[in-house]
Structure 1
Amino acid sequence: MGQFELYFQLGINHILDIGGLDHILFVVVLCSLYPPGDWKKIIFLVTAFTIGHSVTLALATHNLINVNAPLIEFLIPLTIAITAISNLLNPQIKNGLQLNYLFAFFFGLIHGLGFSNYLKALLGNEVSILNPLFAFNIGLEAGQLIIVASFLIFSSLPLIWFKVKQRDWTIVISSSVLGMSLMMMIDTKFW
């Protein structure tokens, strides 16, 4: 297996790993506002997350920023909870720039820090980390697109077949994700 394939696979595994449920929950709660027909908006949304994730991952890997790992492990589920609460307070899409796009990018910055120590250890022997970082982030994006496709297929059952209103579906998904993120926050006591 070549270097690109290795880091690409690592990126996919990072996002799809059930042990790292935080990324899956974040992508799902970001997408929960949108009906399956808005898949282009959703792809833009998760790409904003990948960009934010990539920025801090690169900065931390280059030792330009240092992270307090226990604090980051607490902040990650906090970002999920904030996004879910925002969805609950405003479960409908309005015209203009959506708050979720800002959440995707800025909270992606925090999520990128969560994996930086591990990736930094893997890249320690690499002469150039640009290609491995690129491959990892392409894998991350591919993994997110798998989650998005799965969620949209899953969402079509209640939304299209059973005529559940998008607003109600957003509330159900966001409430569920909020509950899980609160449990994750309790489990990651950093203080």
Structure 2
Amino acid sequence: MSDFNLYFTLGREHIANITALDHILFIAALCTRYQFADWKKILILVTAFTIGHSITLALSVLNVVHFSARWIEFLIPVTILITAISNFFVKKFVFKAKFPVIYFFALFFGLIHGLGFSNYLKSLLGKDQNIIWQLFAFNCGLEVGQLIIVLIILVIAFIMVQIFSVNRRDYLLFLSAVIIALSLEMCLQRMPFHF
């Protein structure tokens, strides 16, 4: 069981770490429109993202798919940018659809982020038959780390909106604008082509 704990901890620390700023920004862009009452929607979003990156992470680590690391590192901030821009189109904080489009975005963008995790994980995984168990433990750790980040985001939003009386939409737009600026800078730094 110590193998599970090791890879679980690696997964949690990989995502809940300031060096994983791009993944933290994506989770923030994805979840900042929600509040504590929306916990079921948030859990579905984060799980859809985890499923997406688990699929490509496994396929890449098992050498089923191959990709250009430069392009993936560029596409990750693009996913952040698109998600943050989508927050500007939230008119009401009532989500009537049973399965909003954002769940598909979380799943699809998770596929891209999973490819980004794979280079990191390939260097850590053993070459034995426990690779599936190690992947599972790593993904469980990622999920827990993401939920910790979501909890922090929700607490900050609660403090800003409920205690400091910041307008909820203004808070969403401000945070999204900051995320857009940071993700644009990342896009420029990671551009895989030159003009």
TM-score when normalising by structure 2: 0.92
Match in the other structure for 1:95:
96
Within-5 A mapping of 1:4-19:
4-19=4-19
1:50 aligns with 2:50: yes
Unaligned runs of 5+ residues in structure 2 are none
Q: Distance in 2 between matches of 1:92 and 1:100?
A: 15
Find the counterpart in structure 2 of residue 166 from structure 1. Answer: 168
Residues 121, 33 of structure 1: alpha-carbon distance in 2 compared, 3 angstrom cutoff: same
What is the CA distance between 1:187 and its match in structure 2? 0.9
Question: Which 5+ residue runs of structure 1 have no aligned equivalent?
Answer: none
Q: How many residues align?
A: 191
Structural RMSD (CA)? 1.5
Task: Give the Cα–Cα distance (whole angstroms) in 1 for the partners of residues 165 and 150 of structure 2.
Answer: 20
Residue of structure 2 in register with 1:115 after alignment:
117
Take 1:149 and 1:125, find their aligned partners in 2: how far apart are those partners?
A: 35
User: How much does 1:75 deviate?
Assistant: 0.1
- Residue 122 of structure 1 deviates from its aligned partner by 2.1
What is the Cα deviation at residue 119 of structure 1? 1.3
Paired amino acid for 1:56: T
Q: How does 1:23-42 map to 2 (within 5 A)?
A: 23-42=23-42
Question: Is the CA contact (8 Å cut-off) linking 2:32 and 2:154 kept in structure 1?
Answer: no
1:92 Cα deviation (Å)? 3.4
Please tell me whether the aligned partners of residues 33 and 92 of structure 1 are also in contact (alpha carbons under 8 angstroms). Answer: no
Contact 1:91 1:171 in 2 (8 A): no
CA positional deviation for 1:62: 1.0
What is the percent sequence identity of the aligned residues?
52
Q: Which moved more, 1:129-138 or 1:37-46?
A: 37-46
Cα deviation for residue 89 of structure 1 reads 2.6
Q: Which deviates more, 117-126 or 54-63?
A: 117-126
Deviates more, 1:126-135 or 1:69-78: 126-135
